[in-house]
């Protein structure tokens, strides 16, 4: 009986030491997990605030040079007002848009564009930029609003791309088929990439949003977006929605004449 009691006490003492050892080992583990959790929470917030602060500071330093001292709020306040430069730029853009939408503004714009169209190098740059911004700012445009997968650079290897429109004009006429223009961005900087013209039946349409697609490209596949409910099949465009080959603006492009 005495021997059994000694064995029970010894086994209990051993279990207690093992439990204490596991607690000692788990404390650094918990400390490391807390550190990682703090980084995950604080890093995105800190980086976002850092970028926003520097952007606002850049606008403030640039615009404050052109604001008269009598109209600068910092003249009457003992502290700097962050974002005043951005507010001034936004207000200036609104005034420019309001003036350009009027009769006098349209006349001036048409005269300026007439002069630019007769300048050899400038007309190409201005025309391309104007059409690009009109297409991107159009609410009914489908550019960069659809994420697709294509077999690129060879069959069996899939790449993520963004549909930018339908290939019309000379490209569509010479191919003789239904082509989509797809932009394939590079990782991790999606500002660079490749423009591909692919048959519609060779493009796999995805249900993810453009924001999720951009996150996937920028993160290099680390941030995988959750699966979304399947959408209804896309309605084929009507004849009046297809861009014409006669030089008219395609459907969905926001022109200056449409701004009221």
Give residue-wise pLDDT tens across range 203-216.
999 999 988 999 99
Q: Which residues, at least 6 apart from 162, have a Cβ–Cβ distance to it below 8 Å?
A: 144, 146, 147, 148, 182, 183, 185, 210, 213
The helix (run of H) or strand (run of E) holding residue 149 is strand 147-151
49 — pLDDT class (breaks 50, 70, 90) = very high
| Token reading at 176 | 């003789």
Model-level pTM?
A: 0.55
List pLDDT tens digits, range 227-236: 776 665 555 5
User: From the DSSP assignment, how many helices (H) and strands (E) are in the chain?
Assistant: 6, 5
Q: Which residues contact 59 (CB under 8 A, 6 or more apart)?
A: 83, 85, 86, 89
Q: Helix, strand or coil for residue 184?
A: strand
- What is the residue whose two structure tokens read 């659809």? 146
Contact 99, 74 (CB under 8 A): no
Instruction: Report CA Rg, the chain.
Output: 30
pLDDT at residue 246, rounded to an integer = 42
Q: Indicate the burial class of 56 (C-beta count within 10 angstroms; 0-12, 13-18, 19 or more).
A: middle
Q: Are strands 193-199 and 179-185 parallel, antiparallel or unpaired?
A: antiparallel
User: How many CB atoms lie under 10 A from the CB of residue 182?
Assistant: 26
pLDDT for the residue 244: 46
pLDDT band at 152 (very low <50, low <70, confident <90, very high): very high
Q: What is the DSSP letter of 165?
A: E
User: What pLDDT is recorded for position 248?
Assistant: 45
Beta-bridged to residue 193, according to DSSP, are 185
Strand-by-strand arrangement of the 147-151 sheet:
193-199, 179-185, 158-166, 147-151, 204-205
Would the pLDDT of 138 be above 80? no
Q: What is the pLDDT of residue 130?
A: 83
pLDDT in tens, 234-247: 555 555 545 444 44
- Statement: residue 110 has pLDDT above 50: yes
How far CA 184 is from CA of 33, 214, 215, in Å, comes to 37, 11, 14
* Greater pLDDT, 256 or 174: 174
């Amino acid at each position: 009986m005495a021997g059994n009691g000694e064995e029970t006490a010894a086994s209990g003492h051993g279990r207690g030491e093992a439990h204490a050892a596991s607690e000692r080992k788990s404390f650094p583990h918990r400390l490391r997990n807390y550190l990682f959790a703090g980084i995950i929470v604080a890093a995105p917030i800190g980086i976002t605030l850092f970028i926003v602060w520097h952007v606002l500071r850049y606008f403030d330093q640039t615009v404050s040079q052109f604001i008269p001292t009598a109209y600068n709020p910092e003249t009457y306040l003992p502290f700097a007002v962050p974002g005043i430069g951005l507010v001034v730029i936004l207000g200036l853009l609104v005034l420019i848009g309001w003036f350009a939408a009027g009769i006098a503004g349209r006349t001036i714009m048409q005269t300026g564009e007439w002069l630019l169209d007769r300048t050899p190098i400038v007309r190409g740059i201005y025309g391309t930029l104007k059409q690009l911004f009109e297409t991107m700012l159009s609410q009914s445009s489908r550019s960069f609003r659809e994420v697709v997968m294509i077999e690129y650079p060879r069959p069996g290897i899939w790449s993520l791309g963004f549909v930018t429109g339908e290939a019309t004009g000379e490209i569509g006429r010479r191919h003789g088929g239904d082509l989509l223009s797809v932009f394939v961005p590079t990782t991790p900087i999606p500002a660079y990439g490749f423009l591909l013209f692919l048959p519609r039946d060779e493009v796999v349409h995805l249900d993810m949003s453009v924001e999720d697609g951009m996150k996937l490209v920028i993160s290099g596949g680390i941030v995988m977006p959750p699966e979304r409910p399947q959408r209804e099949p896309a309605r084929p465009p009507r004849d009046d929605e297809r861009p014409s080959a006669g030089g008219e603006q395609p459907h969905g492009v926001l022109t200056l004449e449409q701004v009221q």
